[in-house]
Amino acid sequence: MNTTKIGWIGLGNMGNPMSQQLIDAAYPVTVYNRSKEKAETLRSLGAAVASSPKELIELNEVVFMMVSDDQAIDDLFNGTDGLLAANVRGKVIVNMSTVSPGISKAFSQLCKEQGNYYLDAPVSGSVKQAETGQLVIMVGGDESAFQQVKPIFEKLGKLNKRIGDSGSGNTAKLAINTLLGFYAQGLSEALVFAQQHHIPNEAMMELINNSALSSVFIKIKGDAIINENYNAAFALKHIAKDLRLAKDEGLDSPLANVLFQTFQQAEPEYGNEDIIAIMKQIR
Residues catalogued as catalytic: 173
Q: Does 104 bind ligand NA7 (CB under 6 A)?
A: no
Q: Which of 60, 98, 170, 171 binds ligand NA7 (CB under 6 A)?
A: 98
Work out whether 67 is an interface residue with ligand NA7 (CB under 6 A). yes
DSSP-derived secondary structure letter, 274: B
Q: Going by DSSP bridges, is the β-strand pair 123-124/6-9 parallel, antiparallel, or unpaired?
A: unpaired
CB of 238 to ligand NA7, least distance (A): 4
Out of 10, 167, 169, 222, which residue is the one contacting ligand NA7 (CB under 6 A)?
10
- Site for ligand NA7 contains 29 (CB under 6 A): no
Query: How far is Cα 182 from Cα 177, in angstroms, rounded to an integer?
Result: 9
| Residue 34 makes contact with ligand NA7 by CB under 6 A | yes
> In sequence order, what DSSP letters do the residues of 8-62 get, joined into one string?
EE--STTHHHHHHHHHHTT--EEEE-SSTTHHHHHHHTT-EE-SSHHHHHHH-SE
Q: Does 21 bind ligand NA7 (CB under 6 A)?
A: no
Contacts (CB under 6 A) with ligand NA7, residues 47-66: 66
Angle at Cα 233 formed by Cα 17 and Cα 264, nearest 5°?
130
CA distances to 152, 179, 262 from 182, in Å: 32, 5, 11
| Nearest position to ligand NA7, beta carbon | 12
The piece of 13-21, 154-162, 182-190, 244-252 that touches ligand NA7 (CB under 6 A) is 13-21
Report d(CA 20, CA 41) in Å as an integer: 10
Which of 22, 47, 57, 72 contacts ligand NA7 by CB under 6 A?
A: 72
Q: How many Å apart are CA 252 and CA 255, to the nearest integer?
A: 9
Residues lying near ligand NA7 in the complex (CB under 6 A): 10-15, 33-35, 38, 66-68, 71-72, 75-76, 97-98, 238
